[in-house]
Structure 1
Amino acid sequence: MACSACNRRTGAIRELRRFVDDSAALGAAFDASASPFLTAYPGQAWPVDSTVAIASLRLHDALLPARYTATVQRWLGGVRDRLDPRTGLMPHRVSAGTGEPAEVARATSQSIIHRFLPDIDPAFARDQYLRFRDQYVVRRLGPAVREYPAGMDGPADVDSGPLPLGVSLSATVVTIGAAQVNHDDALAGALANYGEFAGVPVSTPWTKRYALGLLPVGDAFLAWSKTARPWVAAPPPAPPASITWWWRLPLLLILTVLGTGPWLPALLRHRRRVRPGTGWRAWRPSAPAPTT
């Protein structure tokens, strides 16, 4: 028992040192960069990667003596100067070195950005989240998330997956977590409930898998999204609701048709067999005669 406790303590100390060293490396990289968006691959940079890294620095300063406040503030200023002109959001991809927008904001990165941005700057995060929600969340029988902003279509890729009617299934799932972190419980609940219908879940006494269990990575994304909570910042005030329970009506209509459809032929045959005067109306007792 004592040896196990010592091993756990040693492992925790090792992880803490690694976290401190990695934070120092990240802070130095951001301080030395002319762009707020670090290069992820040679000559390529995506703002979503740097957003997660800055959130890690904020976590460092929440758990340990603060060291990166100036780094975070400088990063925020650089981000505000390089927003996508079409949407007012962080671009999906930027020019390496300068950080200038190279591709319009897309939901596969926005859904992750809004999962972490509230821990960096709650006020900026709220403005960005509402912009994202207004331009990307749509209704396709139920709530879903477009890969490209409303009024714009574009190609699918390995990140977005197929885009039926312009909707990214992966971004829709990850947006559940973004909505929860931003205290948008109505949207988070609606997206999760719609997933119970469209996700084709298969349950056993021990597990629950979506997409008939064929895409385990989708189950991992869903678990990550449904457990999302702010790590550093206090939960923000709930934004104005963008969806009401009425979104369920088309689905309820479809389920009603599917449920009653198989019975319609039998009901029609039964109605043809019932002769006039022999149905349920013939059994209804007549009204009593008036008394004098």
Structure 2
Amino acid sequence: MGSPTGPVRRLHKFRRPLAIVIGIVVAVLVAGLLPRWWCGRDADEWYRGDPARVRGLAEEMVAFETEDDHRRATGAGETLAGMWGLLAHQMTALGLAQVCLEHPEWRGRYAPIMTRAAAKSLLPEMRAEFTAAWHGQDGLADLDSPNGHAYLSYPALALGMARLVDPAFPPDLAFQHDALITSYERRLLVSPTGLLDTFPGEAYPTDVAAVAAAIAVHGRVTGADHTAVLAHWAQRVRAVQIDRDTGLVLQRMGVDGRMHDAPRASGTGLAAYFAGFADRALAEELATGLFRQERSVLGFSAIHEYGDGYDGVGDMDSGPLILGISVSATGFALAPARSFGHRDMFTRLFRTTDLFGLSLRSGTRLRFATGGVIGNALLLAFLTSGPELAR
């Protein structure tokens, strides 16, 4: 009768390699599944507009605006100014307005803060860079100018959303808002390309989408009929501003319709968000082009900046590019993904946002640590964007 030690030795011989293989498989599964679960654990709540998540980020922006008010009143400490200040206050106003539309019971808390944020986006120091570029011409002080001054669409849209939500919206701001919209409507109707310049000779389709959004919201507030100008804008976007091959909008153009930059995802993503206030069908077309830029790995998604056949470097619009991936475009894509019901895409994009944004809670407040004030203002607007903006 043979000794059993031979089979036992053979079993031991294969046990260690088998353990290594099992260990590798388990490690791969953990690496593939744990991060996507952890970073996506709040995605469904954000998609559904869970009050705890929404209010936490809203309160973070309330804290920012309250501190900003204190600094302006006392002169203690620096305040945001320039393009970043304009964007922070505008997006805070938009986000809080969207929160109030979805949760009307919070209007008493957020409407006054939202209106103050919108008003601050009009301060001269917020547009100093643009005024300097226009050789000292302040677009708000010269609304009869033939120049586009499309950057004023950002405060114009913020004012419109605040006026829509806040029953105590100040009459002087309403008068200023009406005058700004009248000026934009006149300029846009006579533009054969549907473009208005932000800087002399430089037009950004994204900024003009914000012009259209501001005009549309003004109509919703006042009952004014802006159908003609919005139809003209949408027709010219489709004919002039969208690259046919990629479905992306051209990032920069001349007011004559000539291309100054490539079709890019960051501009398209923000344009899709703004277009959602004015023309839902066009916003969905822009979103379709944007979503073609999605790149996914292990359940995480990000947006590639340049369309096929184009290449370039990152800038303040796209943020730093990593293997062509745009941080900004990835965040912007959250808004149309939620607005147009792309739950799975929203979840994949949110995982990436949570991974790199590092969401943190402090009491009743929630913030994304790496984004700073501007990142949190943007995310409040994009994470609360919904299907009821254009109506």
Q: Residue 285 of structure 2 aligns to which amino acid in structure 1? A: D
Match runs of 1:163-178 below 5 Å? 163-178=321-336
TM-score between the two structures when normalised by the length of structure 1: 0.69
Q: Residue 252 of structure 2 contacts residue 260 of structure 2 at CA under 8 Å; is this kept in 1?
A: yes
Match runs of 1:136-151 below 5 Å? 136-141=293-298, 142-150=300-308
In 1, distance between residues paired with 2:211 and 2:390?
Answer: 16
1:65 aligns with 223
Establish whether residue 215 from structure 1 lines up as the match of residue 372 from structure 2. yes
Cα deviation, 1:11-61, whole Å, max 9, x if unaligned, reads 532232222111101101112323211011011110000001111111122
Q: List, as ranges, runs of 4+ consecutive aligned residues in structure 1 with deviation greater than 4 Å.
A: 8-11
2:235 aligns with 77
Q: Residue 59 of structure 1 contacts residue 231 of structure 1 at CA under 8 Å; is this kept in 2?
A: no
Is the partner of 2:260 in helix, strand or coil?
strand
Higher RCO, 1 vs 2 (CA within 8 Å, ≥6 residues apart): 2
2:385 aligns with 228
2:254 aligns with 95
Give the number of equivalent residue pairs. 224
Q: Residue 274 of structure 2 aligns to which amino acid in structure 1? A: F
Q: Residue 119 of structure 1 contacts residue 230 of structure 1 at CA under 8 Å; is this kept in 2?
A: no
Matched residues, percent identical?
Answer: 25
Give the Å deviation of 1:70: 0.9
1:109 and 1:49, CA in 2 relative to 1: closer, same or farther beyond 3 A? Answer: same
Establish whether residue 50 from structure 1 lines up as the match of residue 220 from structure 2. no
RMSD (CA atoms): 2.4
Of structures 1 and 2, the larger Rg is shown by 1
Q: Residue 45 of structure 1 contacts residue 93 of structure 1 at CA under 8 Å; is this kept in 2?
A: yes
Q: Residue 58 of structure 1 contacts residue 232 of structure 1 at CA under 8 Å; is this kept in 2?
A: no
Q: Residue 206 of structure 2 contacts residue 270 of structure 2 at CA under 8 Å; is this kept in 1?
A: yes
In 1, distance between residues paired with 2:277 and 2:169?
Answer: 27
Q: Residue 380 of structure 2 aligns to which amino acid in structure 1? A: A
Establish whether residue 104 from structure 1 lines up as the match of residue 262 from structure 2. yes
Q: Residue 250 of structure 2 contacts residue 262 of structure 2 at CA under 8 Å; is this kept in 1?
A: yes
Match runs of 1:1-292 below 5 Å? 11-82=169-240, 83-96=242-255, 98-134=256-292, 136-141=293-298, 142-150=300-308, 152-211=310-369, 213=370, 215-230=372-387, 232-233=389-390
Give the Å deviation of 1:196: 2.1
Q: Residue 319 of structure 2 contacts residue 326 of structure 2 at CA under 8 Å; is this kept in 1?
A: yes
Give the Å deviation of 1:168: 1.0
TM-score between the two structures when normalised by the length of structure 2: 0.52
Is the partner of 2:196 in helix, strand or coil?
coil
Cα deviation, 1:229-287, whole Å, max 9, x if unaligned, reads 245436xxxxxxxxxxxxxxxxxxxxxxxxxxxxxxxxxxxxxxxxxxxxxxxxxxxxx
Q: Residue 170 of structure 1 contacts residue 218 of structure 1 at CA under 8 Å; is this kept in 2?
A: no
Q: Residue 88 of structure 1 aligns to which amino acid in structure 2? A: G
| Unaligned ranges ≥5, structure 2 | 1-165
1:171 and 1:203, CA in 2 relative to 1: closer, same or farther beyond 3 A? Answer: same
